[in-house]
Structure 1
């Protein structure tokens, strides 16, 4: 694929691959295979609206690489989605699955739509239309979707049902993140946040943010959506004080901490910026980055921390719950300032890890209790966190580069194991 066929976000993502490759003795085949998506499909979904009219929506599904197994990745519904974004997200998923040693490659999907403008019936028709359009791409052994931005268990349930209708047999393993009643896994709802929380707790002493008598630990959550909400509550349960939160409609600062019930009520009314209370003040979303805190959790969309606002950050640790929230330029600034960034392909991997657990349970027809899911997730996050931390120490590099080195080493081994014979699978 020519460079000009790759969008700017994918090119930025690939710069992480180049940085990691410098620390490994790689065959040229590895860079060639991982330098572009294996396949990206585009479809036009035409659905009947509630008023009887028809409306078209653009949709994509990308299968970036399947060297280590069937591709895996979420589907997001967002008015600003693009093919470039989908391909970059699929690239990150490829590395995330390798970092966690899951038998998956990376995939991703999207529909360019504002789901808030659709009725429940319209949303269901759109979700089923997506499966109809990409039924030849997805499948329990080929490509397994999951929830992402503005999609949830309900949407996944519709998709699994539609796939079963098209194939003539129930196939719960075709998607993950489903309702528990339809084969979803216990523990999936907060898995992304819980995985990041387990990682932070395990590495706390190494990062200098461990709990100590008399110490106040403060955190900022940028993006109070599903992952951000769960992370804020998990941190608070562990003694952290949440001093700032934001969502797409505003932000608040609260040096004394936040009342989460009041915050949830404000968000339901129209955004976290509507929160009121003692010591709470509404601020510009970028202003929360400058609050005094020991931890910043970007949990919104890509590129929310960039050259224009990175100088505001004072927290010594950044834990990426969002995918690609820090641009490469901002990353360089953070590294130069000695700020530790726990990268997305490790820090938010709890979601895909528990999705893998769900897929395994669906395939074997044997379901685990929530405590077992939590224990397996905790073990996986701690194992890979330690392995990447060891690379940080051994190579003298930042955590993001170390995570990419870790994942790339596994991908390179898998590519080599496939052999050199011509393979039209790519």
Structure 2
């Protein structure tokens, strides 16, 4: 039976605040702060436990090997960018698995398989190093070739940032849907990371019917404001689009384009008068997990920062009191991720498939969660200060911590 499974990224032991992501306001504002990898990973695991209890199924992807020795050897650590170049091979940004890949479920594809294309992430050096190692995990987790097709990333000329700029409208996760691709246009103060051609290449790779695809431009003003991915300003689940009033270049035109192909569209639009764009980005109201519970109702899983914002929480309370499709808003503590610019939606990749076709080592249960919690509590560094990046002692600690997790999961092949 097809189900939507959220695959969360386990926060890696090198989690740090180097401020490497241009256009990411949170990342820039916390540059140079001490980070707390152990707390970050445990916060992420707690979120996964909550979703396992709500939804009955939960997956995960593993931290990538860090520091990346190959990248370290390739870089020249001189000039004005030396500090950023030194930090890039240590980045734990693969924790945000919304950027791991774009996923098209079997009901949408020509060959009836679930297709996954790793994102090339070429706009940022610290992320461009990820896709080959990400693909190595996807090849194992979704190795059943009868049900899955895992591709290489699209050509690096076209920036692709994965599911953070992709959504899917459907009557139910197991039914055929209409896939939404949101892109940005370059030329602004901050880079537009998702190229339209990358989105079209992914759609072609996945064997999608173009009459069931919608390509929409993100409002450049939101990118300028710090919404570096579309999932910072909108989220899709089944028939519902939960979005800010300023999310798209042509807001009404976007709705009409979607309705032409998916007439059942239900828009929940948050007006700027209720929540400003700045506050939406600061609290990551839209970088939320909009999920369908077993009883058919929808929950919106938001960062704790939303409850702490008077304007955002007032809107959420009014929404819950209405007769709309989103019946409950659930705050979660992912502060360590938020400080680097990633909310609940950034931490997960949505895959619609039969759980029985997934390698069980990548699926969470209570026993596994307890084991992972013990490994993290014992092996993950408690704190990383900026001066620690590049040290041999930290490298040994980070490598050993990841290996301990791989051994616990019998995934030493990924070492």
Which has the greater radius of gyration?
Answer: 1
Question: Normalising by the residue count of structure 2, what TM-score does the alignment of the two structures yield?
Answer: 0.32
Question: Normalising by the residue count of structure 1, what TM-score does the alignment of the two structures yield?
Answer: 0.31
Say which structure, 1 or 2, has more relative contact order (CA 8 Å, 6+ apart).
Answer: 2
Higher helix share goes to which structure? 1
